[in-house]
Each structure stands twice: as structure tokens, then as C-alpha cells.
Amino acid sequence: MSSSTREEVLRHLNTVGLLQPALHQQTHAPAPTEIDHTLYRAYTRTPHDVGGEPDVPIVYHEKEEEIWELNTFATCECLAWRGVWTAEERRRKQNVDVGQTVYLGMPYYGRWLMTAARILVDKQYVTLTELHNKIVELKERAKSGKGLGEYLPAKTK
Amino acid sequence: MSHKPVYDRTHHAKLATGIGDPQCFKGMAGKPKFKEGDRVRIKDLPDLFYTRTMTYTRGAVGTIVRLVYESPAAEDEAFGNEDHPEWFYSIVFTQKELWPEYSDSFSNDTVETEIPERYLEQA
């Protein structure tokens, strides 16, 4: 069997999956009386990493950590060592406060990094204006080709 | 002059530095309500804003296998509140108890997890 046949067959199976009937139900702007206890509990459910919820199967990808990911982890640990947050505050911010869409859609260490910036603003270590100004400054420096500073390659594990 | 609220943001570091967490809460939870071997049911307490007590354990009955440590519950700790440490228990459930459709061929399968005292009642 040729590989183009496999491609066609697999594409076909995938396409058929997309055509499966779905339950279409209006979910926007319900009247308060439409929210019974079951829906209330579902809406106030917090995203979490403790498991036990049904979902479709996803492909498991093995991925080597990148330098920015390791640096992000180290930054977050330093914030803990210096007492800026506990692991539980970090988890709450990076799992719950971001909302389900971001929780499932943003790369794992992307959420860590975003949350590190967020805790510094929330606890008034930096103002949002200072953070925004820094982002503008770094964007301009990157555009000018001067680089963003020393970037050390990861040491071998 | 700053008008920022007065709040010691390093309070946890002061408590835990050189000791560790949850070791820094040792001896602060009082007398444990349950002991190893007790059968307990997990209460379905509110899960608004934050919890780490798995939904799938709520209402289920398990066996305490260990008292693990004293710590503020996640509901408090997630917002920087550390004044009320409580006992955490390691609890074993059969998979069949948690998942009614779990295959009888694997009826010996179990799962073990840690849950704070507020969620437990004698089964």
C-alpha cells in the first residue's frame, strides 16, 4: 500500500471525526434563572492539575526543555526563596487565575513566566507601568539589533 | 510618601527559611482528629476559587495510611494565609470506589493521595 493511500485514509478518518454531530446549545448570556446548581458548579469550577476529568485523547510529545524554560523555572524558584510567593500561590495564579482557555492553550512554561510577572505586579514589587515600559524598551533594543543581553547556553545535564 | 498598604510580603520566608515547608508548621495543628487505619469519607466542601481536593474523591470512602504533615490547607495557602495549619492525611482508595465503571478484573487497584483534615469525616 502506497504512503499516499495511507495519507488519504488517515486524512479521511480525521475529517470524518470533525463531521461527527455535536450538541449545539446556546451558552452565551443566559438568564439568571437558567443557571441551576449543576451549571453554577460547572461554571465556577477552577482549572487544576489534579486530574480526573474526561477529555479526548491527545498525542504525547517528548520535549527537551529549552533555555528560556529552565530560566523561567529558576526565576520562579528564586521568587519562592525570597518569600514573594509559595508554591500554592503560584499554582493558583498559573492554573486558576488565567482561566481554562489559557490554562489548556498556553505552553506550560509560558504560564509560569506570565505568572512570575503577574505576582510582581499584584504584590506591588513593580508597577504595571514599569513593566510595560520595560517591555517597550526591550522591544526597541531587540529591533536595533543590539541583543537583549547576555544569553548563556544551557550546561549539559 | 508612599500610600501602599502595609503588608509583610516576606512573612512566609521568615517562617520557613532554614527550616523548610511544611516542616515550619510542625506542632501547630494540634491533636489530629483521625489516626492510621481509620475509614473516612471525603466531604464535598465548596470548591469556589481554589481547592486541591480532587473532585473524584468527594463522597468516596478511603483508608488513612499515614499522617503526613501539618500545613495550611491549599484554600488558605493559595492566598498567602498561613495562620491555621491542619493535619494532612495520606488516604488510599480503591479505584473501583472512585470510578464505578472500573473493570472488576483490576479490583485490587488503588490510588493514594493527600487530603487535609477539614475534608474528612468518620465513615
Task: Name which of B3, B25, B50 to mutate to probe chain A: the one with the most chain A Cβ atoms within 10 A of its Cβ.
Answer: B50
Interchain CB contact of B112 with A (< 8 Å)? no
- From start to end of B1-123, where are the E strands? 39-42, 61-71, 86-94, 110-116, 120-122
User: Considering its fold, how many domains does chain B have in total?
Assistant: 1
Classify residue A50: in a domain, yes or no: no
Query: 3-class DSSP state for residue B71?
Result: strand
Domain that holds residue B24: 11-122
Classify residue B4: in a domain, yes or no: no
Classify residue B5: in a domain, yes or no: no
Residue A1: pLDDT above 60?
Answer: no
Classify residue B99: in a domain, yes or no: yes
CA-based nearest residue to B75, from B41, B116, B34: B116
Domain that holds residue A102: 67-143
Grid cell listed for B101: 465503571
**Residue at grid coordinates 523555572:** A73
State which H helix or E strand residue B15 sits in: helix B11-16
Classify residue A48: in a domain, yes or no: no
User: Considering its fold, how many domains does chain A have in total?
Assistant: 1
Q: Looking at residue B100, which CATH number applies to its domain?
A: 2.30.30.50
Helices (H), chain A: 3-18, 37-43, 67-81, 87-91, 100-105, 108-122, 128-143
Residues of A designated as active site: 108
pTM for this predicted structure? 0.82
- From start to end of B23-109, where are the E strands? 39-42, 61-71, 86-94
Taking contacts as CB-CB distances below 8 angstroms, the residues of chain A near B50 are: 46, 92, 96
Q: Say if the Cβ atoms of A86 and B80 lie within 8 Å.
A: yes
Classify residue A85: in a domain, yes or no: yes
Taking contacts as CB-CB distances below 8 angstroms, the residues of chain A near B54 are: 50-52
Classify residue B3: in a domain, yes or no: no
Q: Looking at residue A100, which CATH number applies to its domain?
A: 1.10.472.20
- A95-153: pLDDT as tens digits: 999 998 899 889 999 999 999 999 999 998 999 999 999 999 988 988 888 777 666 66
Q: CA B52 to CA B96: how far, in whole Å? A: 21
- B57-91: pLDDT as tens digits: 999 999 999 999 999 999 999 998 999 999 999 99
What is the ipTM metric for this complex?
Answer: 0.83
